[in-house]
Chains A and B, each alone.
Chain A
Amino acid sequence: MRIHSIARRLIAAVVLSQLLLAAGLFFVAVYFTHRQLLAAFDTELRGRAMGIAALVHYSEDEHPVLEFQQDTLPPPFERRNADVYEVTDQTGKLVARSSGVSSLALPTALHPVYRDFSWRGETYRALRLSRVPVLDREANTPAIDFLTVTYASPLSPVDRTIARLQLYIAGGCVLLLCVTVPLAIWGLRRGLRALDDLAANAELISTSNWELNPSAEAMATRELLPLTQAMTSMLDGLRRAFTQQREFLANAAHELKTPVAILKSTLQSLLQRPRSEEEYRAGLEQCLEDMARLEKLLHSMLRLARAEQWAAGSLQRDLAEIDLRATCEAAIDSITPLARQRGIEIRVSSNGPVPVRADSEDLELVWVNLLENAVCFTPPSATVRVLISSDREHGVVEIADSGPGIPPDELPRIFERFHRGDVSRSRDTGGYGLGLAISKAVVEAYGGSITPKSEVGVGTRMIVAIPKQS
């Protein structure tokens, strides 16, 4: 693809249009001036022809004949090439002819009345007036006598004026172009500077600098505003996604260190000295247990990543309508062994099916996580209550335990990844502090909300609202 420059194209267009304008102006001006000059020339020509005609008079004889009064001729237009004239009477007899002209080589049929012709190496313009009455009238003169007057004058004064005019206009245009072209180039470059600034700013963006700092000029340019806005919002989205990924990776790497340290120390202490077969077997079993926990952590982290990706809109899914109650019951089934082990009863109450549009596996995961916490928090032989209800827009599940409660200052932090409250850290659950973070991410991916209500010494209630239509 050829790379072209907006600035150069605009400058070329502006200069070209200025040249065209100058040329057009030039031709129009010359054309109209030429016409005006010719019209003036023609009027003058007619006046002179009439003047010539006025010089014809009758002689004072008994039988008067036409005579020409040569001594009162008007001054010629041109000194170099004098005007020429010829006067004939109605019979075609020559009455007068300018001196030095043997036979005026004027074309005989002068029609139209004005005509340009070339004579003695010069362009002449001629006027022929027919049927000009003789002004001199006496008692004995013929009833009417008509003259035909032909008068020609060189066009060189008009040509000279036109030539001078052309020179003036062309010179003026060139002078104007000399001023306006640099002005246009400067203006265009200045106008495009905002774009250059924006490009330079955009160039500074990297994974360590997400700020697009458009110059005040770029911000004040109407054409650039949609671009700056789009870039800013795009950068914002990118930064959030990038930061989220990086944080997740850092958290994951950090959180993997402990299980890996456990596994490594188990193996190393096993190898520290020769051991019996039972000791090796016990050690290997320990390693397997450690591995199982590591696996569970990995699974949780991937699940969290997926839920967040989905919430960010980069993952699409088709959702069917499911019963909220059924997902709760499935979750309770899977948590029952743990509850029974701790002597805890899980009691469910609901008023019929609550249809929501969601993935049943996702919701089950949320309930399992919340129930697991509730079961771990609740003292043995107490009850965990699950309340399923619905309002107009949401299906609502409330999971309440009678555990020690969460202190108010810790309440906002319980949804943080890898955050672990003290009791949930009990080793038998193998929790890594991801359960609540995953639950929150999943619920929010559905556009729902998860609200913890806790009173120290009384218990904790987790209220989850899932929209019926996602």
Chain B
Amino acid sequence: MRVLIVEDEQRLAENIARSLRESAGYAVDCCFNGEDGLFMAESNPYDLLILDLMIPQVDGVTVLKRLRSRAAQFPVLILTARDEKESVVALLNAGADDYVCKPFDLGELMARSKALIRRGKGQSAAVLRIADIEISTADLTVRRDGKAIPLTAMEYRVLEYLAHRPGAVVSKTELLEHLYDFNWERFSNVIEVYISGLRRKLEHGDTKLIHTLRGQGYMLRA
């Protein structure tokens, strides 16, 4: 999953980014003004936008409205220092999905982010099930029959992304775009490495979970 944070307080943005990377395993991009935020949000496929309202150049509400008017589908979580009912209602009506008031609890922000991403992908349970495998997005663990399957961080990210869209064909490009942040060089062959690692750890016997559709991508299906 890939998240964009638009927050002018660099320290705050970094803290949120670090927390998202560590506790959710997301790829995170940060930018510090509205203009950059708009550009980034429009040129990359994000799974969640965390948007501060008081940002320079283009303010948060304008960013939100402009994105929504251009049919951006990803969920938007607003960071606000205001907590008056009117402004909250106005925000939600402008296309926001959720909001937290500063000073917020980082744990709560993580939980809300995860929930928004789940909803954005059409899922509602925090534990994703594929065949006999359980993926717990709360603590980033994968289990089979209650027994934890040790995955690397990147393997988990690939599996989580696929598990959020069961039965859908996910291209390698899509995976790359959603699993790496802006600063990473992307090589499509690394995806194959992670896929083969996942197959080795998750599949046994002749049950296939991750299907390869030649020239199209991958699909997770029981």
Contact = CB atoms under 8 A, between A and B. Distances in A.
A joins B in a complex:
yes
Contact of A257 (B18, B19, B103, B105): B103
Given A254-B81, A422-B33, A261 B19 contact: no
Contacts of A290: 11
A313 B79 CA distance: 39
Contacts of A269: 15, 18-19, 22, 106
B59 to A, nearest CB: 11
B102 A260 contact: yes
Interface string B1-18: 000000011111001101
Contacts, number: 68
A421 B8 CA distance: 12
B103 A260 contact: yes
B197 interface: no
A262 B15 CA distance: 8
B82 interface: yes
Interface residues of B, number: 25
A459 B88 CA distance: 39
The prevalent SS among residues of A at the interface is: helix
A265 B57 contact: no
B102 to A, nearest CB: 4
A421 B103 CA distance: 23
Contacts of A258: 9, 12, 54, 81, 102
Contacts of B105: 264, 268
Interface string B87-124: 00000000000000111111100000000000000000
B8 A266 contact: no
B56 A257 contact: no
Interface size class of A (residues with CB under 8 A): 20 to 34
B23 interface: yes
A80 interface: no
A264 B108 CA distance: 13
B100 to A, nearest CB: 9
A365 to B, nearest CB: 25
Given A254-B82, A258-B12, A268 B19 contact: yes
A417 interface: no
Contacts of A93: none
Given A257-B102, A260-B102, A422-B33, A427 B81 contact: no
A141 interface: no
A299 interface: no
14 contacts: A257-B102, A258-B12, A258-B54, A261-B104, A262-B15, A265-B16, A265-B103, A265-B104, A269-B22, A272-B22, A272-B23, A273-B22, A422-B56, A427-B9
Given A258-B102, A268-B105, 7 more contacts: A258-B54, A260-B102, A261-B79, A264-B106, A265-B12, A265-B104, A421-B56
